[in-house]
């Protein structure tokens, strides 16, 4: 094991890196569509409650476990004296592995779109959905399919950039990149928000996002919001434990956690208030979609119909690209940190091997988009044969099952085994009393684990998990 653990070079470096991990495709790509589907204001309220009551205590717990143990996510549990809980770290690292493999491919598609808007925006505009399908290897008009070479090449470039930054290390690579990437992201976000606010007809979209339509809310909304909050805050995936372990003892954990949660949630809300009203204004409310096709295909209509659209299109995909990069770096770091510490492997070859493996597994994801989501390359979808493992199933497995289970494990560990008093002691190492100690103990012992459990069980019992 390495004795000289890496540390963040500065406080702001850590905050930006942690916020960079949290702010990602989840906030900009997933949140707006989910908020629209879940009834606008109603979904937002549920989401905020979940962030405060569950997200905050879980993140604080992960950061304090990591900093107390000074180890990667798996060994942290062991080091604090409870081997039995290593499964939480193992699940987290495994989830990080699965998520990164598809996340980096979506990152590759985003990179492709940055280039597309610069070089051939008119082609994208001419047939947005056709362009998106084409990238994934499918021609809707002829039914023809092919190997999605362009998408895979761009994913390879995206992954290579990640590997490069990871190899540079915690302070020299991750921290440095985030110090540039995160401020850039905020600037772009503000520019895009101003653009939306000044669009004719955006008011209806704002009104929708501010009105609570409870008729659209069901158990599945809670589960979806819970999965979304965990995913967005980078919880239940070994990341915050790892990042916490690089944090010096004199840093104030409570404040940092609150700051990261706030930044992440703000970005999600702003993204929602950019995208939903922009679609209302340019395409009409019936066209607010969700998921991948939404960010890639529907938004083309938005940019096409707005003055200066190509410029804002490039800006938007650059925003997505920065957000995706700062997050994928953290995902890979969680896995690399474990392997280098545990087996004493060198950072560089480990990073290369991990990135290559993740990239290859992700290729199945990109390749099965046309097969599963659209039409078969390998599988004959028309005849009812499909193999959804690499389609939406991956997201279901991680967001809605493994991540909540892993977060539940963290709550049980900190709440009942390691005990909140120890977490509070770790939190107070900066010399200041933690004012929310009592509230935190109650949240981590009862409120968070019980709600997580209830939501998982309820959604399975009512069979609404896959909606």
Q: Which residue ranges make up the site for ligand PHE (CB under 6 A)?
A: 21-22, 24-27, 231-232, 234, 237, 239, 327, 330-331
* Terminal-residue alpha carbon distance, the chain: 44
Nearest distance from residue 278's CB to ligand PHE, in Å? 20
Q: Is 344 helix (H, G, I), strand (E, B) or coil?
A: coil
Question: What's the full length of the chain, in residues?
Answer: 467
Nearest distance from residue 123's CB to ligand PHE, in Å? 28
CA distance linking residue 143 with residue 150, whole number of Å:
19
Q: Which is nearer to ligand PHE, 57 or 301 (CB)?
A: 57
Q: Which is nearer to ligand PHE, 136 or 237 (CB)?
A: 237
- Cβ distance 60 to 423 under 8 Å? yes
Token pair for 247: 């944090």
CA distance linking residue 45 with residue 42, whole number of Å:
5
Token pair for 161: 């950039």
CA of 74: how far to CAs of 1, 90, 231, 369, 467, in Å?
Answer: 13, 6, 19, 33, 32
Nearest distance from residue 464's CB to ligand PHE, in Å? 23
Nearest distance from residue 21's CB to ligand PHE, in Å? 5
Q: Which is nearer to ligand PHE, 228 or 465 (CB)?
A: 228
Q: Which is nearer to ligand PHE, 178 or 234 (CB)?
A: 234
CA distance linking residue 194 with residue 440, whole number of Å:
37
CA distance linking residue 175 with residue 9, whole number of Å:
8
Q: Which is nearer to ligand PHE, 163 or 306 (CB)?
A: 163
Nearest distance from residue 212's CB to ligand PHE, in Å? 24
CA distance linking residue 430 with residue 122, whole number of Å:
56
Q: Which is nearer to ligand PHE, 227 or 376 (CB)?
A: 227
Neighbours of 421 (CB within 10 A): 10
Q: Which is nearer to ligand PHE, 159 or 306 (CB)?
A: 159
Helix, strand and coil percent figures for the chain, each rounded to 5: 80, 0, 20
Token pair for 355: 């990135």
DSSP 382: G
Nearest distance from residue 337's CB to ligand PHE, in Å? 13
Nearest distance from residue 329's CB to ligand PHE, in Å? 9
Q: Which is nearer to ligand PHE, 137 or 227 (CB)?
A: 227
Q: Is 82 helix (H, G, I), strand (E, B) or coil?
A: coil
Nearest distance from residue 461's CB to ligand PHE, in Å? 27
Q: Which is nearer to ligand PHE, 256 or 304 (CB)?
A: 256
CA distance linking residue 16 with residue 10, whole number of Å:
10
Among 102, 74, 109, smallest CA distance to 88 is for 74
Token pair for 346: 């060198």
Nearest distance from residue 25's CB to ligand PHE, in Å? 4
């Amino acid at each position: 094991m390495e004795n000289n653990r890496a540390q963040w070079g500065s406080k702001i470096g850590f905050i930006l890196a942690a916020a960079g991990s949290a702010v990602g495709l989840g906030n900009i790509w997933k949140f707006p569509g989910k908020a629209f589907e879940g009834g606008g204001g109603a979904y937002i309220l549920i989401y905020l409650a979940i962030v405060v009551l569950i997200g905050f205590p879980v993140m604080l717990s992960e950061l304090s476990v990591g900093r107390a143990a000074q180890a990667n996510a798996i060994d942290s549990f062991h080091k604090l004296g409870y081997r039995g809980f290593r499964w939480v770290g193992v699940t987290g690292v495994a989830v990080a592995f699965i998520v990164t493999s598809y996340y980096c491919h979506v990152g590759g598609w985003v990179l492709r779109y940055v280039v597309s808007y610069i070089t051939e925006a008119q082609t994208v505009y001419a047939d947005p959905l056709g362009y998106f399908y084409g990238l994934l290897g499918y021609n809707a008009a002829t039914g023809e399919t092919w190997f999605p070479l362009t998408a895979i090449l761009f994913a390879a470039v995206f992954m290579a950039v990640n590997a490069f930054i990871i190899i540079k290390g915690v302070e020299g690579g991750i921290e440095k990149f985030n110090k540039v990437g995160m401020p850039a992201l905020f600037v772009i976000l503000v520019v895009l928000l101003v653009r939306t606010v000044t669009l004719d007809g955006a008011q209806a979209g704002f009104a929708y996002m501010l009105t609570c339509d409870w008729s659209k809310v069901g158990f599945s909304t809670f589960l979806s919001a819970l999965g979304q909050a965990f995913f967005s805050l980078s919880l239940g995936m070994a990341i915050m434990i790892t990042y916490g372990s690089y944090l010096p003892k004199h840093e104030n954990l409570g404040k940092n956690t609150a700051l990261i949660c706030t930044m992440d949630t703000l970005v999600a809300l702003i993204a929602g208030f950019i995208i939903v009203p922009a679609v209302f204004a340019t395409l009409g409310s019936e066209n607010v979609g969700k998921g991948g096709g939404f960010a890639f295909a529907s938004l083309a209509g938005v940019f096409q119909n707005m003055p200066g659209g190509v410029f804002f299109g490039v800006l938007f995909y650059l925003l997505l690209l920065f957000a995706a990069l700062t997050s994928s770096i953290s995902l890979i770091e969680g896995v690399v940190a474990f392997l280098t510490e545990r087996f004493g492997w060198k950072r560089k070859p480990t990073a290369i091997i991990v990135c290559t493996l993740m990239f290859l597994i992700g290729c199945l994801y990109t390749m099965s988009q046309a097969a599963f989501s659209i039409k078969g390359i390998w599988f004959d979808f028309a005849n009812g044969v499909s193999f959804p493992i690499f389609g939406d199933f991956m997201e279901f497995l991680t967001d809605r099952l493994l991540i909540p289970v892993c977060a539940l494990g963290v709550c049980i560990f900190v709440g009942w085994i390691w005990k909140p008093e120890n977490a509070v002691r770790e939190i107070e190492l900066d010399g200041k009393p933690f004012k929310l100690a009592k509230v935190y103990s109650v949240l981590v012992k009862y409120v968070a684990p019980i709600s997580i459990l209830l939501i998982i069980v309820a959604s399975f019992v009512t069979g609404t998990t896959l909606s």
